[in-house]
Amino acid sequence: MLLNTLPTFYQGKRIFLTGHTGFKGSWLLDTLHLLKATVKGYSLAPITNPNLYDMIQGDSKCESVIADILEREKLQKEMADFQPDIVFHLAAQPLVRLSYDIPQETFAVNALGTANVLDAVRFLEKPCAVVIITTDKVYENKEWIFAYRENDALGGYDPYSASKACAEIVTQAYTSSFFNPNAHAKHQKGIATARAGNVIGGGDWSKDRIIPDIIKALTAQKPIIIRNPNALRPWQHVIEPIMGYLMLGMRLYEQPTKFWGAWNFGPSLYDNLSVETVAQIAINTWGSGEYEIMQLENAPHEANLLKLDTNKTTSLLDWRGEMDFIQAIEETIAWFCNHL
Ligand SMILES: NC(=O)c1ccc[n+]([C@@H]2O[C@H](COP(=O)([O-])OP(=O)(O)OC[C@H]3O[C@@H](n4cnc5c(N)ncnc54)[C@H](O)[C@@H]3O)[C@@H](O)[C@H]2O)c1
């Protein structure tokens, strides 16, 4: 199985990881460390307290550069000094609700930040694979029952979704203009985007995300407040897309002209559960607790239904989610219980 080849491939590979101080970045950093890769991280300092990066002693697992993705020259120099084999770009303003408060910053970090990363790659005179992490929210959400495929239209109602769709378009433009697969022999780069759905897992303390909100309420013995009880999301344990990103990075490095382009990393279509059901399962796993539905007047728009079609990823990349949703939430709640 392709997954078994990751240790041999990643051992000694040079990985430039943006967003290494964040939730998913820390999971990826820890996994790359286990795989004996050499990692340079580039991001802002962790903002939550506690945070997963400090818990995994991230500073001992990579060369950590704390800087803004919008500092173009700094980013270019750090990347040129390191000469990476693979770049994973995760740094972003990743929160939908916050994007309504700071739309300009969200567009700057997510769209221009992606252009800065791809521009820095342009100056590398060596083979390099680049995986840009976006989201399932890049699709023009038609709120229908069908799952979205990689060639469906891009869109975005809220600033976060639109900014990530912009990141996709920026990536398409850089791919066509500077890293065209037809001219691979000249530039030696392979560029792909990875679109994953909402993830859950230990170590996420972000604001306005379902699991951190649930854990905060359960720990404080207060009711879990649910704003959007019927919203369906393709929930997935964080380790699933992390494995997917690693597999994509490996395949892209080995066969850039075959594995470039967009890839969906979603759970099985049966794992689309409502926010209310998630709260119920969390309470059962925790052993106590209650929830209250509080629909706010003038609440910002949030998409209701979004499913990813993963046929391309499962058939060509040999990746599929291993955990069902119940396992994913049990793992997550158990992680927080252990932490507490
Ligand atoms: N968590 C999810 O459910 C989810 C789902 C789909 C996609 N994603 C994507 O995965 C990636 C990581 O998300 P996360 O959940 O780990 O978020 P996070 O907030 O935990 O981490 C974000 C990271 O980006 C860095 N960052 C933010 N602004 C920066 C800037 N101006 N300059 C440099 N670094 C900056 C932060 O320092 C941090 O390391 C993002 O691209 C996000 O859009 C997340």
* 195 Cα–ligand 1 center, Å: 13
CA-45 nearest atom, ligand 1: 37
Bridge partners of 89? 18, 132
Q: For residue 323, count CB atoms less than 10 angstroms from its CB and return exposed for 0-12, middle for 13-18, buried for 19 or more.
A: middle
Q: What is the pLDDT of residue 241?
A: 97
**Regarding predicted confidence, which is higher, 324 or 248?**
248
Residues near ligand 1 with C-beta < 6 Å? 19, 21-25, 43-44, 68-70, 90-94, 109, 133, 135, 196, 198-199, 206
Which pLDDT tens digit goes with each residue over 78-108? Answer: 999 999 999 999 999 999 999 999 999 999 9
| φ, ψ dihedrals at 131, nearest 5° | -110, 115
Mutate to test the pocket of ligand 1, among 48, 90, 208, 240 (most ligand atoms within 8 A of CB): 90
**Do the Cβ atoms of 198 and 145 come closer than 8 Å?**
no
**Where do we find the tokens 């607790």?**
289
Mean pLDDT, residues 159-172 taken together? 98
297, two tokens: 């007047």
**Do the Cβ atoms of 92 and 24 come closer than 8 Å?**
no
- Give the DSSP per-residue string, 48-69: SSS-HHHHTTGGGTSEEEE--T
Bridge partners of 129? 86, 190
Most confident of 40-44, 199-203, 316-320: 40-44
Nearest Cα neighbor of 323 from 232, 239, 218, 197 is: 239
Q: How large a percentage of the chain has pLDDT more than 70?
A: 96
Q: What is the pLDDT of residue 1?
A: 57
Residue 323 has pLDDT above 70, yes or no: yes
Domains along the chain?
2-196+235-271+303-323 (3.40.50.720)
Which pLDDT tens digit goes with each residue over 94-143? Answer: 999 999 999 999 999 999 999 999 999 999 999 999 999 999 999 999 98
Using alpha carbons, list the distances in angstroms from residue 131 to 66, 141, 191, 201, 222.
21, 24, 6, 22, 40
* 198 Cα–ligand 1 center, Å: 12
Residue 314 has pLDDT above 90, yes or no: yes
Which pLDDT tens digit goes with each residue over 250-260? Answer: 999 999 999 99
If phi > 0 it is left, if psi is from -120 to 50 it is alpha, else beta; for residue 261 that is left
Nearest Cα neighbor of 99 from 65, 135, 66, 142 is: 135
Q: Measured between alpha carbons, how far is 86 from 70 in angstroms, rounded to an integer?
A: 20
Residue 230 has pLDDT above 90, yes or no: no
Mean pLDDT, residues 188-197 taken together? 96
Mean pLDDT, residues 24-53 taken together? 97
Residue 336: CB partners within 8 Å, gap ≥ 6? 202, 215
244-263 burial, b if ≥16 CB within 10 A, otherwise e? bbbbbbbbbbeebeebbbbb
The DSSP H or E segment spanning 150 is: none
Largest CA distance in the chain: 60
Q: What is the DSSP letter of 45?
A: P
Q: What is the DSSP letter of 287?
A: T
**Do the Cβ atoms of 329 and 282 come closer than 8 Å?**
yes
Q: What is the pLDDT of residue 114?
A: 99
Q: What is the pLDDT of residue 338?
A: 87
Q: Which of 35-39, 159-163, 182-186, 227-231 has the lowest mean pLDDT?
A: 227-231
Helix axes 72-82, 113-122, angle to 10 degrees: 40
Which pLDDT tens digit goes with each residue over 270-313? Answer: 667 888 998 998 899 888 999 999 877 677 776 666 789 999 99
Q: What is the DSSP letter of 110?
A: I
- Average per-residue pLDDT for the chain: 93
Torsion of CA 155, 161, 163, 168, to 10 degrees: -60
CA-20 nearest atom, ligand 1: 39
Which pTM does this prediction carry?
Answer: 0.95
